[in-house]
DNA sequence: AATGAATGAGTCTTCATTCAT
DNA sequence: AATGAATGAAGACTCATTCAT
């Protein structure tokens, strides 16, 4: 019974993940989620009180999985650059894995303070995980740096999502590039004169 | 007549920009836009065929303004680092100015291929503008670098949007930080041993 | 325009009166009311915010009409018994007139405090109208007497509603009977011994 | 088994009486009745074919109890006025006891002909019980008189239902008043001149 | 060109009822 | 007999769009 219950619960979350992810919140009908999950419309409401609550649950599961896996993977390295590399690989591979399920990352209902609060929390936690790594390297401005790194990765993932020919290996190459660029800076990729320095 | 027509056209775009931007596509009603524009509901349809088309027009006007202003500003510097700094300042200041219109960029209708195509085009153009700057510096992998830089900036803008206490000056400081980090890399902010280098 | 507007407003109230009255609140669909009023479903919501509000409006209109007409008619007599007779005739004739429209008098949504409050107010006003008449006759216990009279009339109306063969004249005869019974008591209709008196 | 069966049957009726009575037919969910009865939802359907049938059964049990108790109590008096007094006391006390179940009698499903038929039958039986008493007193128009008396009582019960401060004694006082008014008429409570008589 | 009253397709959600266990 | 998970029909309400004026 518990396993049946869990099974349907999971099936609904999976269906909702797929449909919300590729279609967005408003474009996805509860009836479609039910069909996708292979159950009746009313059954969805036995497991989730409303469409918004279901969306929250999907988001939460995804974000938590992302953070948990990251923490796990970070244990594999002791160096700063190793850890930054792991973060990059994780970020890009995570979306690579989900490219078929989630083309457009979530278009959420606005005006839902609970969801906004959760997303803020998630970003904060993700950022703190990166901050922690950076602090071990003795970084000043670790929060700005963490934001920057995450931003880089988040943009670099886009092609992965939209380009069907993107392969796993390409994802890892991008990760390497991102880590390298972040640490060594653009100068290594450029021909800059000694004094060509950014001015504030 | 033409000026009257233009006037209403602009009033609708302004109203839609304000409301779509702060409320999102689905949350904004055509009737609200009409009220905000000071005209009747039916009149909106004399200027824009549908809600989606109006959203497209709003997006287009905004993105074009973004790119045009960027091109204009880039003329002010001849050095790579100067131009990168301009890009950063532009990106962050642009959002700073538009704090209240946050949501326009995330909360679009999804299943509209035309909009997706346009956003892709915009991103491509923005990226090419950055690529051009980087190529002048002799960059290898200019597209990846451009994406990374834009990603950094896009993430660093977030606090600007959500933190009401963020001031213009803070935006410029962030821009300086971003340009510096991008060019010189994280090492300048860290205490790394000689051999602590990222592994691909 | 105003007359058009009023026309639809009235048409909806009429339709709702008919359908709520004969079918009850829950049994009546908003779509049916729209069809009966000869308009589209959505139009009902231009005039009434919700089904409950429409029900309230129907109830209010009916009750107010009932009380206004009563006040008007009461002016026609100066004696107590004349006024009681008018009350009886009004009560019974009112339902006689509406028998085709309103077989089952309103089955209201429960748990609607606003409606309960209004119905209480209506009953209070109706009762006070009767109380006033009784006080002019120097009655002691006028409220209990008013309640009793109204109760009598309300029960005597039932056959009028359900018996299709009931005619206008029958309604007036009943009214006369009710007034007589109320004033002179049952004794006139009975063969009671001198000492057969109710014991408290 | 039969006793178990009977036990559940009764438990469901009790639960339904409580909930239908205080909440109304539509507002009460079968699942709530099951919870209140301490059984599973599906079990209700082993004893009652449908929600409407259950409502019928509740109504029937209540009405039958009302009539049986009345018949029983009427044996206690041999005089007309004694019996009318008993009827009044019974009617008012019955509702006094059931204060919490107010709504059962007004909030029935409408379009159920079976229920309408039963309620008509009940009213007929109640009326005939009163008619029989009146006929023993030699009444003319006994049915109209019975209706009137019942109507009086039914209205006088209202305050009992809605006024929480109403006590058992108050109910009995009202009963005495009602019986007195019905028999002796309003004249005893008024200052009417000899010729102030109702005009038909 | 401008209006805004009218439309009706579209979707979430509820809950009586069923049936496999 | 008892359960309660699952069903799906049904209906209130919204809002983009139209069109008579």
Q: pLDDT at position B146, please?
A: 96
Task: Give nearest nucleotide to B43 (CA–C1').
Answer: E2
Within a domain: residue B198? no
Give the mutation candidate from B55, B101, B110, B122 for the A interface (greatest A CB count, under 10 A).
B110
Query: Does D194 have pLDDT greater than 60?
Result: no
Query: Does D178 have pLDDT greater than 90?
Result: yes
pLDDT top residue among D143 and B159: D143
Return the CATH number at C25: 1.10.10.60
Mark whether C101 and C150 lie in a shared domain. Answer: yes
Mark whether A102 and A135 lie in a shared domain. Answer: yes
Total residue length of chain B: 200
Q: pLDDT at position D85, please?
A: 95
Within a domain: residue A196? no
Question: Which structure tokens are listed for D56?
Answer: 């019928």
Mark whether A178 and A79 lie in a shared domain. Answer: yes
pLDDT-based confidence at B198, cuts 50/70/90?
very low
Question: What is the domain range of residue C166?
Answer: 58-189
Query: Does D118 have pLDDT greater than 80?
Result: yes
Mark whether A35 and A69 lie in a shared domain. Answer: no
Ramachandran sector of residue B75 (left: φ over 0; alpha: ψ -120 to 50; beta: rest): alpha
pLDDT top residue among C126 and A200: C126
The mean pLDDT of chain B is 88
- Tens digits of pLDDT across chain A (200 residues): 444 447 999 999 999 999 998 888 999 999 999 999 999 999 999 999 999 999 999 999 999 999 999 999 999 999 998 999 999 999 999 989 888 776 666 677 777 888 889 988 999 999 999 999 999 888 888 999 999 999 999 999 988 888 889 899 999 999 999 999 999 887 776 655 444 444 44
3-state secondary structure of D40: coil
Q: pLDDT at position A198, please?
A: 45
Q: Which residues between 115 and 154 in chain C have a beta carbon less than 8 angstroms from any beta carbon of chain D?
A: 120, 123, 134, 137-141, 144-145, 147-154
In chain C, the number of structural domains is 2
Mind listing the pLDDT tens digit for each residue in D30-89? 999 999 999 999 999 999 999 999 999 999 999 999 999 999 999 999 999 899 999 999
pLDDT-based confidence at D1, cuts 50/70/90?
very low
CB A183 within 8 A of CB B198: yes
To the nearest whole percent, how much of chain D has pLDDT over 70? 88
Query: Does D200 have pLDDT greater than 60?
Result: no
Within a domain: residue D22? no
Write the DSSP symbol of residue C187: G
- How far is residue D116's CA from residue D108's CA, in Å, rounded to a whole number? 9
pLDDT-based confidence at B156, cuts 50/70/90?
very high
pLDDT-based confidence at D158, cuts 50/70/90?
confident
Shortest CA gap B48–chain A (Å): 22
Return the CATH number at D122: 1.10.357.10
Is the CB of A150 less than 8 angstroms away from the CB of B145?
Answer: no
Question: Which structure tokens are listed for C37?
Answer: 């009023």
Within a domain: residue C196? no
Within a domain: residue C114? yes
User: Quick one: which residue's CA is nearest to F3's C1'?
Assistant: D40
Within a domain: residue C197? no
Axis-axis angle for helices C51-74, C30-37 (nearest 10): 60
What's the distance, CA D193 to chain centroid? 38
Q: pLDDT at position B177, please?
A: 94
- Nearest chain A residue to B140 by CA distance is A189
Mark whether A79 and A154 lie in a shared domain. Answer: yes
Q: pLDDT at position A121, please?
A: 94
Q: pLDDT at position C190, please?
A: 62
Mark whether C19 and C86 lie in a shared domain. Answer: no
Mark whether C134 and C171 lie in a shared domain. Answer: yes
- How far is residue B13's CA from residue B7's CA, in Å, rounded to a whole number? 10
Mind listing the pLDDT tens digit for each residue in C143-199? 999 999 999 999 999 888 888 899 999 999 999 999 999 998 877 666 554 444 444
Mark whether A35 and A65 lie in a shared domain. Answer: no
Mind listing the pLDDT tens digit for each residue in D86-111? 999 999 999 898 887 766 565 677 77
Mind listing the pLDDT tens digit for each residue in B22-73? 888 999 999 999 999 999 999 999 999 999 999 999 999 999 999 999 999 9
Mark whether A68 and A129 lie in a shared domain. Answer: yes
Q: pLDDT at position C50, please?
A: 97
- How far is residue B76's CA from residue B68's CA, in Å, rounded to a whole number? 14
Mark whether C68 and C154 lie in a shared domain. Answer: yes
Within a domain: residue C28? yes
Cα angle B147-B88-A137, degrees, rounded to a multiple of 5:
75
Give the mutation candidate from B186, B188, B196 for the A interface (greatest A CB count, under 10 A).
B186
User: Quick one: which residue's CA is nearest to E21's C1'?
Assistant: A1
To the nearest whole percent, how much of chain C has pLDDT over 90? 66
Within a domain: residue C7? yes
Q: pLDDT at position A124, please?
A: 95
Query: Does C200 have pLDDT greater than 70?
Result: no
Q: pLDDT at position A38, please?
A: 97
Is the CB of C190 less than 8 angstroms away from the CB of D80?
Answer: yes
Q: Of the candidates A24, A166, A151, which has an alpha carbon nearest to the alpha carbon of residue A93? A: A166
| CB neighbours of residue C103 within 10 Å | 14
Q: pLDDT at position D131, please?
A: 96
pLDDT-based confidence at B15, cuts 50/70/90?
very high
- How far is residue B75's CA from residue B71's CA, in Å, rounded to a whole number? 7
Mark whether C126 and C170 lie in a shared domain. Answer: yes
pLDDT top residue among C66 and B116: C66
């Amino acid at each position: 019974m518990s396993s049946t219950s869990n099974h349907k619960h999971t099936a609904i979350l999976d269906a909702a993940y797929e449909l919300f992810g590729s279609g967005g919140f408003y474009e996805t009908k509860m009836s479609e989620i039910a069909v996708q999950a292979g159950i009746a419309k009313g059954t969805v409401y036995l497991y989730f009180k409303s469409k918004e609550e279901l969306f929250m649950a999907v988001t939460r599961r995804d974000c938590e999985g992302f953070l948990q896996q990251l923490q796990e993977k970070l244990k594999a390295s002791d160096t700063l650059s190793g850890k930054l590399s792991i973060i990059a690989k994780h970020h890009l591979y995570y979306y690579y894995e989900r490219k078929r399920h989630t083309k457009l990352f979530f278009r959420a209902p606005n005006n839902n303070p609970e969801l906004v609060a959760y997303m803020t929390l998630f970003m904060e936690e993700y950022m703190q995980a990166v901050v922690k790594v950076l602090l071990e390297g003795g970084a000043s401005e670790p929060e700005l740096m963490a934001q920057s790194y995450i931003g880089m990765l988040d943009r670099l993932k886009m092609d992965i999502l939209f380009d069907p020919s993107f392969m796993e290996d390409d994802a890892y190459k991008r990760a390497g590039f991102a880590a390298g660029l972040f640490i060594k800076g653009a100068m290594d990729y450029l021909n800059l004169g000694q004094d060509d320095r950014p001015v504030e």
